Amino acid sequence: MAVTESTDDASARRLADVVVARMGALHRSRRQVHLHGGPTEPTMLKIERGEARGLTPKTLRRVNVGLDWTAGSAENVYFTGGNPTPLKERTGIISGPPGVYVDAETITELITAAREIGDLAETETPAMRSAAERLDAAIQPLYARYVTQLLEANRRRGGALGPLVTILGPYLDRPIDPARDNEEEALYRRWLAGIRVDLDESTRQRFEARFGEAGV
């Protein structure tokens, strides 16, 4: 006697096929989808495996956000067997100038607070750890360039790098995660700080040229 696939199974498998294809087209991992506003990584894994049944409207809305689909796309795939509609262009709310000035003291306070929250989150729930990771990812663009310029200035002027490395240690020596970090920038900061990293000769020359140009 043949086993008939249930409606829930068919919906889950259909959504899995479309989601996996979209992730590949966007070059986004489960973590990256989550950081773009999508479901948590465990939920994304279930969706990819075709094991996600009884998905809530909230989860399906987050799928739309994380995969840059228009509202209702994931619901259309899951419930009616339709196709998703990609956003033409992901835009934000325009309510002022494209950027604002943030002073060094504020950036330093943000780095310190994010690090403290990250340390505290290690002993908390997975949801708290996930929130701390999202906070770190959100403020990284603020402090990344600042830290690079700070290290360049101190190296150029013969400043004491030791105290800086102590303060910035968690951001300089943590494993480089391609999903979170720009590998070139992360290696450059380590090189500026005098941290021993394995660099090929062409990369070393590129960093030396960049450092020289930064001082012009």
Residue by residue, pLDDT tens for the chain (216 residues) are: 333 446 678 889 999 999 999 999 999 899 889 888 889 889 999 999 999 888 888 899 989 989 999 888 999 999 998 999 998 764 444 444 455 566 667 767 777 777 788 778 877 788 887 887 777 777 776 667 777 877 787 777 765 555 555 556 656 666 777 666 678 888 888 888 777 778 889 988 998 888 888 764
CA–CA gap between residue 183 and residue 144 (Å, rounded) = 12
Q: Is 86 strand, coil or helix? A: strand
Rounded to the nearest 5°, which phi and psi values hold at 190? -65, -40
Q: Is the dihedral of CA 144, 146, 150, 152 positive or negative?
A: positive
104 is written with which tokens? 């060094």
pTM of the model: 0.43
DSSP state of 79: I
